[in-house]
Structure 1
């Protein structure tokens, strides 16, 4: 561990007994990072900053919120109208959820493109998938709290999915989630408690995520390991400055939504108080769940043994398995893609299939927002099929058949080569 760079005797005394400052110095200042990281690596730090913003604004909102079906909707309106800057805190929290998913999705797509899930970073990737699952659970429960029409019916539809689990397990699980026999006050209380708790669980997993990251260091656009000191630079000031610039750009875009389009990514029906007797014309989750919602609806048929009529998996259970399987599949990605080359820069075929996967994900998001009718059902089934084919068939085949381009000898070699070429041209 690097020595503590300070002349403050009080800091030195404390650090000798509780080495917080020296640990932060080692991991945030002197931490050696690859010298060729681009701005796509900003999304990791942005995710951490947004998580802190979400926790702080969430605590402030919890001080004013009333988790009761008779008062929840009115308490949110009171926050918006009567609490000093309550409207601002709520809009930051509400839009922060969407931007949190934007940043994390971009962070994961960068990892997919540059092979950041490959050895020796399998645990790092797995912890990232766990964070995504925790985010989804937290966001879903938070969406229920305003107790609007879409909150109530979204909770009803999604929790009812678990009833598809056979042998009576599903019904018992749904009853436990509801705290009774319908979505009511016990449900709201449970969701509020879990929504408040889970962000702190996310913080704990993020700590493990960073620990796993620093065990082997960051991946880089070339996807090769650093060969020596010439391939690394201290994290501060080089990447702290880069992160601050990225944060500035992010805050400008974020502020534009908070102040000028705060409800753009929400649903207008959620400004109508929940009514169990009136079903909305089209029940949809938040936009960041739409691809998974499309996968859920893609299974419209029972899976049975041919010519026997024996149903193995009913359509409802099949949709649930496909939806959750699409995320669980990501845990096994480091072993499904066994190519020794990480970065898509040197894998021309993989790069093309990667962009096809991105297109399929965007199509699924669009289909999830559409009514469950033709042609959207068929389009969703095709995109869902490609998603699973990509991971289960295409990646293993590419690992065996693709001929990657030659890798550079070190991280610094392409920089030095381009520098020499520039000198020769001059």
Structure 2
């Protein structure tokens, strides 16, 4: 997005001028995350999680590369090589715990980032591509995390790989050949472990490439904000640096306190104890579960227990599990409300906080619980509402609800100049207010209300 008032990059020395002419990387950084990138002045701490996600990705790549130097992707020695890292490699225990807990914290950050986008409708035009690329990143993360969970080659790693790859056998005609191709055989063994290790090592760099596209797409329309009102003039923005770099720095400090608390004091809390037992194909664990961040979708998979006509329950569960994420791709077109922010959509807000959020909580809980009653029934009810929320509730609510009046500008929302309904201006079909004749920024850079 082009801002005529944005600060322009000015090289200050001969060397930086030469670099700027030959390879303008300093200009690129300045315009991407520096003073040359104006952002809405009203961003709250929920907008920190994009930066935190980038930090988590870098952390996972660095620790993963170092761990790969000592890991042996061989079914006979993989478990022992992980123990070797923990016991014999200098600081190996810390690297392993940082990587394992880093995956969990990465998903915590991403889930908050996604649900912030759902509440503030960050998927609406003109930011559809940002949202779509974000969903692609999430799918790549899920694949990467699954393959990483297999690498320690403990009991839960082995049986998790067997169960998840076994889902492909539910696909008619091509399912079993696809499963054999993925595993390199008829069961998880050395060939499967080599495949998963290679893909797990490669995928984070693919994610990094999609993240670059995600950020690129973000800089075309600019950042969204809690009001959902687009930037109108200079008074609505402040430079990303130093204002939001300082805010992101504080958020990163809080994140690191929580993250390091788990790494040093609760390193195994988010793992499963069965994964500290070497893989044994002849001994099935009593309760096979994936990592916690897969639980909602695992609960949806297990919610289908009866065949329906010619569709087996297993196939319907697999379709529903993937559809639970794929439905996010269609949100820009399912939600037809001209208002973006949930702060100004009272009916939408009720369904979000008292419908979608509790439903996700039930799915998280049931996904980690045994496949027995009442958990199966709760999973079925929650899965039914989950799809109904996106496919039925959201489109209907977006048509029938009466949103609250939006502020005239981001500055008005920040400075509280417009608080009454009498000042509301009718919305256009795009959710934007028509331009008015109010005066522009004063000498102090603050927006003056009409009549001031």
Instruction: Provide the secondary structure at the position in 1 that maps to 2:410.
Output: coil
Query: How many residues are aligned here?
Result: 413
Q: Distance in 2 between matches of 1:343 and 1:299?
A: 35
Instruction: Provide the secondary structure at the position in 2 that maps to 1:111.
Output: helix
Instruction: Provide the secondary structure at the position in 2 that maps to 1:233.
Output: strand
Once the 2 structures are TM-superposed, how far is the Cα of residue 358 of structure 1 from its aligned partner? Answer: 1.1
Partner of 2:184: 179
Once the 2 structures are TM-superposed, how far is the Cα of residue 7 of structure 1 from its aligned partner? Answer: 2.0
Q: Distance in 2 between matches of 1:47 and 1:62?
A: 22
The within-5 A match list for 1:327-342 is 327-342=325-340
The within-5 A match list for 1:14-413 is 14-29=19-34, 30-167=36-173, 169-304=174-309, 311=310, 313-355=311-353, 356-413=355-412
Once the 2 structures are TM-superposed, how far is the Cα of residue 303 of structure 1 from its aligned partner? Answer: 1.7
Structure 2: stretches of 5+ with no match in the other structure: 1-5, 421-452
CA deviations on 1:385-420 (whole Å, 9 max, x unpaired) are 000000000011011111101111100012333699
Q: Distance in 2 between matches of 1:262 and 1:65?
A: 20
Instruction: Provide the secondary structure at the position in 2 that maps to 1:216.
Output: coil
Is the 2:408–2:418 contact (alpha carbons within 8 Å) kept by the matching residues of 1?
A: no
Partner of 2:424: none
CA deviations on 1:366-387 (whole Å, 9 max, x unpaired) are 0011111111111000000000
Kindly indicate which of the two structures has a greater share of residues assigned to helix.
Answer: 1
Q: What RMSD, in angstroms, separates the aligned Cα atoms of the two structures?
A: 1.3
Instruction: Provide the secondary structure at the position in 2 that maps to 1:183.
Output: coil
Once the 2 structures are TM-superposed, how far is the Cα of residue 2 of structure 1 from its aligned partner? Answer: 5.4
Once the 2 structures are TM-superposed, how far is the Cα of residue 59 of structure 1 from its aligned partner? Answer: 0.1
Q: Distance in 2 between matches of 1:103 and 1:420?
A: 33
Once the 2 structures are TM-superposed, how far is the Cα of residue 6 of structure 1 from its aligned partner? Answer: 3.7
Query: Which stretches of structure 1, 4 residues or longer, exceed 4 Å deviation after superposition?
Result: 418-421
Instruction: Provide the secondary structure at the position in 2 that maps to 1:303.
Output: coil
Once the 2 structures are TM-superposed, how far is the Cα of residue 210 of structure 1 from its aligned partner? Answer: 0.3
Instruction: Provide the secondary structure at the position in 1 that maps to 2:220.
Output: helix
Q: TM-score under structure 2 normalisation?
A: 0.90
Q: Distance in 2 between matches of 1:250 and 1:90?
A: 19
Q: Distance in 2 between matches of 1:129 and 1:156?
A: 26
Instruction: Provide the secondary structure at the position in 1 that maps to 2:238.
Output: strand
Q: TM-score under structure 1 normalisation?
A: 0.95
Is the 1:357–1:390 contact (alpha carbons within 8 Å) kept by the matching residues of 2?
A: yes
Instruction: Provide the secondary structure at the position in 1 that maps to 2:287.
Output: coil
Instruction: Provide the secondary structure at the position in 1 that maps to 2:371.
Output: coil
Q: Distance in 1 between matches of 2:307 and 2:224?
A: 43
Is the 1:2–1:22 contact (alpha carbons within 8 Å) kept by the matching residues of 2?
A: no
Is the 1:33–1:217 contact (alpha carbons within 8 Å) kept by the matching residues of 2?
A: yes
Once the 2 structures are TM-superposed, how far is the Cα of residue 281 of structure 1 from its aligned partner? Answer: 0.5
CA deviations on 1:93-149 (whole Å, 9 max, x unpaired) are 000000000000000100011110101111110000000000000000000000000
Q: Distance in 2 between matches of 1:117 and 1:66?
A: 42
Q: Distance in 2 between matches of 1:417 and 1:261?
A: 44
